Amino acid sequence: MMEWTDRHCRFFHRLLTRRALIYTEMVTTGAVLHGDRSRLIGFDPAEHPVALQLGGSDPAALARCARIGADFGYDEINLNVGCPSDRVQEGRFGACLMTEPGLVGDCVAAMKAAVAIPITVKCRIGVDDQDPEVALGTLTEAVEGAGVDALIVHARKAWLSGLSPRENRDIPPLDYDIVFRLKAAHPALPIVLNGGVTTVEGARNHLQKLDGVMMGRAAYQEPWRLLAVDAELFGEVPPFASAKAAAAALMPYIERELARGSRLHSITRHLHGLFHAVPGARAFRRHLATAAVKPGACSDVLAEALALVVDRPAELAHTAAA
């Protein structure tokens, strides 16, 4: 998620779930081709499985970027057909590609031809006054025909003018039923639901009908929820018994990153929502917000913040939140 997530966030989330697939924020083809590549798309091997999301609409450029992503070691390349920002529209990609399903199919075909890893698309159900049934159906046929490996559907329209990107994540109503119907019509195509899923239990319900669920804001703002993913969705033991233990395990990474010149706050900012219904959560957040931003702040700040919260097993925190 642009502005929110980065490689530090992904490394931290990977401590909370071994199994969830993690996506990068959107990186444009222009940035991948001409920017500081290792800063933009470099990642730690511990982040696997991780998908690189690309923004673009030129099949040849996307194919080159897919190859670069595959060479970096990404497990999947995803094409963004859902971002409604003005900047993205000017570049003729993101959500406005919902009106050019043939071009999206060409993009997928070019990327499929370039790499052996899965190519996926993340889309909306339509834009502006499109009929979602037609728009989503046509896009799905185009990408399925091009060999797409999965389709992630943010189950609401985007309004390309009149709503800000933020409003476009809340105001257009969610329509999960259209995604269920899409799955029924395309049983062989893996379909993943996104939008408004705020709990792991909610995700599990959708998984009865669909192949996957993508959580965005809830995963970022309440990362403690991720600690339930491996147990509840994959029947596996969680990587750590508590959120506090997971945060403590971040310490060696922090020391490594500080030695490379990263600032403490750029890492610990992703931990602010880690504790829920745990005594000391507010003091933890406050300490990080004030001490981690100071010049020269080191990993001791996280140790001090963690000393302020009670160590409660993940299941108890989870029950308290239900």
Ligand X SMILES: Cc1cc2nc3c(=O)[nH]c(=O)nc-3n(C[C@H](O)[C@H](O)[C@H](O)COP(=O)(O)O)c2cc1C
Q: Between 196 and 223, whose beta carbon lies closer to ligand X?
A: 196
Q: Between 77 and 218, whose beta carbon lies closer to ligand X?
A: 218
Q: Between 33 and 237, whose beta carbon lies closer to ligand X?
A: 33
CA dihedral in degrees (267, 273, 274, 278; nearest 10)? 140
Closest residue to ligand X, judged by C-beta, is 216
Between the CA of residue 189 and those of 17, 121, 150, what are the distances in Å? 25, 12, 6
The structure tokens listed for 28 are 């444009």
Give the nearest distance from C-beta 27 to ligand X in angstroms.
8
Give the nearest distance from C-beta 294 to ligand X in angstroms.
26
Q: Is 80 helix (H, G, I), strand (E, B) or coil?
A: strand
Instruction: Note the residues at the interface with ligand X (CB under 6 A).
Output: 1-4, 25-26, 53, 80, 82-83, 122, 154, 169, 194-197, 215-218
- d(Cα 316, Cα 193) in Å, to the nearest integer? 28
Q: Between 137 and 196, whose beta carbon lies closer to ligand X?
A: 196
Give the nearest distance from C-beta 217 to ligand X in angstroms.
3
Give the nearest distance from C-beta 144 to ligand X in angstroms.
20
* Choice among 9, 65, 83, 123 that is catalytic: 83
Confirm whether 83 is a catalytic residue: yes
Q: What is the DSSP string of 86-115?
A: HHHHHTT-GGGGGG-HHHHHHHHHHHHHH-
The structure tokens listed for 266 are 């750029």
- d(Cα 129, Cα 17) in Å, to the nearest integer? 39
Give the catalytic positions in this structure: 83
